Chains A and B, each alone.
Chain A
Amino acid sequence: MALLEIQNLNRRFGGLQAVNSVSFTMEQGMIKAVIGPNGAGKTTLFNLIAGNLPANSGNIFFNETKINGRKPYQIARLGLSRTYQNIKLFHGMTALENVMLGRHIRSKAGFVAGMLNLPWTWPEERMIRDKSMEYLDLLGVAGCADIEVSNLSFGQQRGIEFARALATEPTLLLLDEPAAGLNIYETAEIGRLISKIRESGITILLVEHDMSLVMDISDEIVVLSFGEKIAEDLPHNIQQNEEVIRVYLGDEG
Chain B
Amino acid sequence: MDLFKRYFPVFSLLAVVVGIQVVTHFTETTYYLTQLTMSAYYSVVVIGLCVLMGYGGQISLGHAGFFAIGGYLAGALTTHNLITLKGHRLVSLLDNVGLLVDSKGLYGGDLLTVEPWAACIIAVLTAGLIAFAIGGPILKLKGHYLAMATLGFGIIIYRIALASAYFGEADGISEVPGFKLLPGIEVSGSFVSRVLNYYIAWGMVIVAVILLLNLIHSRVGRALRSIHGAEEAANAMGVNTARYKLYIFVLSAVFAALAGVFVTHYNGGIGPSEAGVMKSVRYVAIVAVGGMANIWGALIMGIVLNFLSLRGVFGSYDDAVFGVILIIIMLFAPQGILNINPGQKVKSLLSFFVSKSGEETTE
Residues of A near any B CB (own CB < 8 A): 50, 52, 71-73, 76-77, 81-82, 84, 88-93, 97-98, 100-102, 104-105, 107-111, 113-117, 121, 124-125, 128, 148, 150-151, 164, 168
Please tell me if B138 contacts chain A, counting CB pairs below 8 Å. Answer: no
Whole-angstrom distance between the Cβ of A148 and the nearest chain B Cβ = 7
Q: Is the CB of A101 within 8 A of B218?
A: no
Identify A104's interface contact among B211, B215, B223, B230, CB under 8 A: B223
B230: chain A residues within 8 A (beta carbon): 88-91
Whole-angstrom distance between the Cβ of B135 and the nearest chain A Cβ = 14
Nearest 5 A-B pairs (CB), nearest first? A114-B218, A90-B229, A105-B238, A76-B238, A117-B214
Question: Contacts A73-B241, A76-B237 hold; do A109 and B229 have CB atoms under 8 A apart?
Answer: no
A105: chain B residues within 8 A (beta carbon): 237-238
Please tell me if B102 contacts chain A, counting CB pairs below 8 Å. Answer: no
What are 10 sample pairs from A and B whose C-beta atoms fall under 8 A apart? Answer: A52-B236, A73-B241, A76-B235, A88-B232, A92-B293, A104-B219, A104-B223, A115-B211, A148-B343, A150-B344
B233: chain A residues within 8 A (beta carbon): 84, 88-90
Q: Is the CB of B237 within 8 A of A104?
A: yes
B343: chain A residues within 8 A (beta carbon): 148, 150-151
List B286-325 residues whose CB lies under 8 Å from chain A.
293
Q: Is the CB of B211 within 8 A of A73?
A: no
Chain B 193-234 interface mask (CB, 8 Å, partner A; 1/0): 000000000000000000110110111111101101110111
Distance, CA A14 to CA B132, complexed state (A): 36
Q: Is the CB of A109 within 8 A of B235?
A: no
- The residue in chain A whose Cβ has the minimal distance to the Cβ of B243 is A73
- The residue in chain A whose Cβ has the minimal distance to the Cβ of B233 is A88
Please tell me if B361 contacts chain A, counting CB pairs below 8 Å. Answer: no
A102: chain B residues within 8 A (beta carbon): 237
Question: Contacts A104-B219, A117-B214 hold; do A111 and B238 have CB atoms under 8 A apart?
Answer: no
Distance, CA A148 to CA B353, complexed state (A): 25
Question: Contacts A93-B225, A101-B226 hold; do A110 and B220 have CB atoms under 8 A apart?
Answer: yes
Question: Contacts A101-B223, A104-B223 hold; do A114 and B214 have CB atoms under 8 A apart?
Answer: yes
Distance, CA A124 to CA B219, complexed state (A): 9
Please tell me if B338 contacts chain A, counting CB pairs below 8 Å. Answer: no
Q: Is the CB of B232 within 8 A of A97?
A: no
Whole-angstrom distance between the Cβ of B235 and the nearest chain A Cβ = 4
Please tell me if B166 contacts chain A, counting CB pairs below 8 Å. Answer: no
Whole-angstrom distance between the Cβ of A165 and the nearest chain B Cβ = 8
Distance, CA A168 to CA B237, complexed state (A): 7
Q: Is the CB of A73 within 8 A of B341?
A: no
Whole-angstrom distance between the Cβ of B40 and the nearest chain A Cβ = 20
Known: A73-B237, A92-B293. 18 other contacts (CB 8 A): A52-B236, A72-B236, A73-B236, A88-B230, A88-B233, A91-B229, A93-B222, A93-B225, A98-B226, A105-B237, A105-B238, A107-B219, A108-B219, A109-B220, A111-B215, A113-B218, A115-B215, A115-B218
- From B215, B219, B223, B240, residue with most partner A Cβ within 10 Å: B219
Q: Is the CB of A93 within 8 A of B226?
A: yes
Distance, CA A76 to CA B247, complexed state (A): 21
- From B217, B218, B239, residue with most partner A Cβ within 10 Å: B218
Identify A72's interface contact among B214, B215, B220, B235, CB under 8 A: B235
- The residue in chain B whose Cβ has the minimal distance to the Cβ of A121 is B218
Whole-angstrom distance between the Cβ of B11 and the nearest chain A Cβ = 16
List B323-363 residues whose CB lies under 8 Å from chain A.
341, 343-344
B3: chain A residues within 8 A (beta carbon): 117
B247: chain A residues within 8 A (beta carbon): 111
A111: chain B residues within 8 A (beta carbon): 215, 220, 247, 251
- The residue in chain B whose Cβ has the minimal distance to the Cβ of A100 is B222
Distance, CA A81 to CA B235, complexed state (A): 11
Distance, CA A71 to CA B228, complexed state (A): 19
Distance, CA A128 to CA B234, complexed state (A): 16
Chain B 167-201 interface mask (CB, 8 Å, partner A; 1/0): 00000000000000000000000000000000000
Whole-angstrom distance between the Cβ of A101 and the nearest chain B Cβ = 5
Q: Is the CB of A90 within 8 A of B234?
A: yes
Q: Is the CB of B238 within 8 A of A97?
A: no
B217: chain A residues within 8 A (beta carbon): 114, 117
- The residue in chain A whose Cβ has the minimal distance to the Cβ of B6 is A117
A71: chain B residues within 8 A (beta carbon): 235, 240
Q: Is the CB of A109 within 8 A of B237?
A: no
Distance, CA A125 to CA B6, complexed state (A): 15
Distance, CA A100 to CA B222, complexed state (A): 8
Q: Is the CB of B341 within 8 A of A101?
A: no
Distance, CA A20 to CA B237, complexed state (A): 28
Identify B226's interface contact among A77, A90, A113, A148, CB under 8 A: A90
- The residue in chain B whose Cβ has the minimal distance to the Cβ of A161 is B233
List B109-139 residues whose CB lies under 8 Å from chain A.
none
Distance, CA A117 to CA B220, complexed state (A): 11
Question: Contacts A90-B233, A91-B230 hold; do A115 and B238 have CB atoms under 8 A apart?
Answer: no
Q: Is the CB of A104 within 8 A of B238?
A: yes
Whole-angstrom distance between the Cβ of B293 and the nearest chain A Cβ = 7
Distance, CA A164 to CA B240, complexed state (A): 17
